[in-house]
């Protein structure tokens, strides 16, 4: 048994297809009687209009695509949650594509999306992506694109991100407030925009509170987990070791935490740690961890909202705006000693 079609309804009621179509869309040029008859039968047969026939006819898919590098256990799950909720509100459908940080995959996915499958695209580019011509091409084909989180500065479209500078500033201030005098900054890259901006916030916070920025307290570990571990351990073994750590990504917070244990340093008594983290349960699982959380859900929602506005109004609406949301500092009472 296949799905009911307009034709089926029409035949059953001795009406024409167009009348049935209009009745279902509550057109004013249909008599109340026929409307009712049609509606009743449609409900009875659970009529669901074929979305692809409609899309083809209306040149609109009522579908958006979300293209992201990864999904497991992090920021992106929450972002999708936000995106999906806004999509549902707008009666839109959400296609999901994972690039696994692979440029080739991203390329072929984005290329495909110019087919008319979707009305708009939400994208967070893969770390391997330098060339963004594939995204410009979408744009040129009048498919609105909104970047979120992982953005490219080289394209003239809207971007939704966290305020990394301010987050860095806030996190550093928090450690100072807790009494830290020497605060180290840990990052996984000296180039990535998020790392750089967070570091600027860190530096300015120190300056504003009259603390010198010591270059030796800024650690970039571009390589393996082992390298991170060693560098942090070295930092903490120094007789003049820092009394505060600002980990710009969660991974480094975990590494720091382990180093402290190995060196029998108590957290937060000997060393205070603050970290970027989107793991909601991070500070629950480890009460001595203070986290800076990106508003992932809100970023997803905002990105989707802005995309839908662009769909309604005009693509030019989406040109070169930037929406920057603030992060949140989550601190728990430490019950551990």
Per CB under 7 A, residues contacting DNA are: 2, 5-7, 14-19, 21-25, 27-34, 49-50, 53-54, 56-59
265: CB partners within 8 A, 6+ apart: 236, 259, 271
244-247 and 272-276 strand pairing:
parallel
- Cβ pair 166, 201 in contact under 8 A: yes
Q: What residue 31 binds from a second copy, DNA, none (CB within 5 to 8 A, per partner kind)? A: DNA
How far the first Cα of the chain sits from its last, in Å, is 66
Minimum gap (Å) between residue 205 Cβ and a second copy: 26
Place of tokens 């570091």: 199
Q: Is 315 in the site for a second copy (CB under 8 A)?
A: no
Q: What residue 33 binds from DNA, a second copy, none (CB within 5 to 8 A, per partner kind)? A: DNA
Minimum gap (Å) between residue 14 Cβ and DNA: 6
Q: Is 77 in the site for a second copy (CB under 8 A)?
A: yes
Q: What residue 14 binds from DNA, a second copy, none (CB within 5 to 8 A, per partner kind)? A: DNA
Closer residue to a second copy (CB): 68 or 217: 68
Site for a second copy in 91-120 (CB under 8 A): 93-98, 111-112, 114-117
- Cβ pair 287, 336 in contact under 8 A: yes
Site for a second copy in 247-266 (CB under 8 A): 250, 254, 257-258, 261-262
Q: Is 285 in the site for a second copy (CB under 8 A)?
A: yes
Strand, coil or helix: 63: strand
Q: What residue 156 binds from a second copy, DNA, none (CB within 5 to 8 A, per partner kind)? A: none
Could you please report the per-residue DSSP string of 169-194?
HHHHHHHHHTT-SSEEEEES-SSSHH
Closer residue to a second copy (CB): 114 or 328: 114
Helix (H) or strand (E) holding 146: strand 145-148
Count CB-CB contacts under 10 A for residue 150.
20
Closer residue to a second copy (CB): 80 or 274: 80
Q: What residue 11 binds from a second copy, DNA, none (CB within 5 to 8 A, per partner kind)? A: none
- Cβ pair 15, 52 in contact under 8 A: no
Q: Is 34 in the site for a second copy (CB under 8 A)?
A: no
Closer residue to DNA (CB): 20 or 219: 20
Contact with a second copy (CB under 8 A) among 7, 11, 44, 140 = 140
239 preceded by cis ω (within 30°)?
A: no
Adjacent-strand bridge partners of 162:
325
Q: Is 50 in the site for a second copy (CB under 8 A)?
A: yes
Q: Is 40 in the site for a second copy (CB under 8 A)?
A: no
Q: DSSP letter for 76, please.
A: H
Closer residue to a second copy (CB): 220 or 315: 315
Could you please report the per-residue DSSP string of 1-52?
-----HHHHHHHHT--HHHHHHHHTT-TTS-HHHHHHHHHHHHHTT----HH
Residues that bind a second copy (CB under 8 A): 1-3, 46, 48-53, 55-56, 61, 63, 70-73, 76-78, 80-81, 84-85, 88, 93-98, 111-112, 114-117, 137, 140-142, 250, 254, 257-258, 261-262, 279-282, 284-287, 289, 297, 335-336
């Amino acid at each position: 048994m296949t799905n009911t079609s307009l034709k089926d309804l029409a035949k059953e009621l001795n009406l024409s297809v167009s009348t049935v179509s209009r009745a279902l869309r509550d057109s004013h040029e249909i008599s109340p009687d026929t409307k009712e008859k049609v509606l009743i039968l449609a409900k009875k047969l659970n009529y669901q209009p074929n979305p692809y026939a409609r899309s083809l006819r209306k040149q609109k898919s009522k579908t958006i695509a979300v293209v992201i590098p990864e999904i497991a256990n992090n920021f992106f799950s929450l972002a999708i949650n936000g995106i999906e909720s806004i999509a549902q509100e707008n009666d839109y459908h959400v296609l999901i594509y994972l690039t696994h940080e692979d440029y080739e995959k991203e390329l072929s996915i984005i290329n495909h999306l110019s087919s008319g499958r979707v009305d708009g695209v939400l994208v967070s580019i893969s770390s391997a992506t330098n060339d963004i011509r594939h995204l410009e091409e979408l744009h040129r084909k009048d498919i609105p694109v909104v970047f979120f989180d992982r953005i490219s500065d080289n394209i003239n479209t809207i971007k939704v991100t966290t305020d990394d500078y301010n987050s860095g500033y806030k996190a550093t201030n928090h450690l100072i407030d807790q009494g830290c005098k020497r605060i180290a900054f840990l990052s996984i890259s000296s180039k990535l925009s998020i790392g750089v901006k967070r570091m600027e916030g860190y530096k300015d916070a120190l300056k504003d509170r009259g603390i010198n920025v010591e270059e030796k307290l800024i650690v970039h570990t571009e390589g393996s987990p082992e390298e991170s571990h060693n560098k942090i351990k070295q930092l903490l073994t120094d007789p003049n070791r820092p009394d505060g750590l600002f980990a710009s990504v969660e991974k480094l917070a975990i590494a720091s935490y382990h180093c402290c244990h190995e060196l029998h340093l108590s957290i937060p008594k000997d060393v205070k740690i603050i970290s970027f983290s989107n793991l909601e349960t991070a500070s629950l699982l480890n009460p001595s961890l203070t986290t800076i959380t990106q508003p992932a859900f809100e970023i997803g929602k905002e990105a989707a909202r802005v995309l839908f506005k662009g769909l309604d109004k005009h693509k030019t609406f989406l040109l070169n705006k930037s929406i920057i949301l603030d992060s949140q500092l989550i601190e728990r009472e430490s019950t551990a000693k």
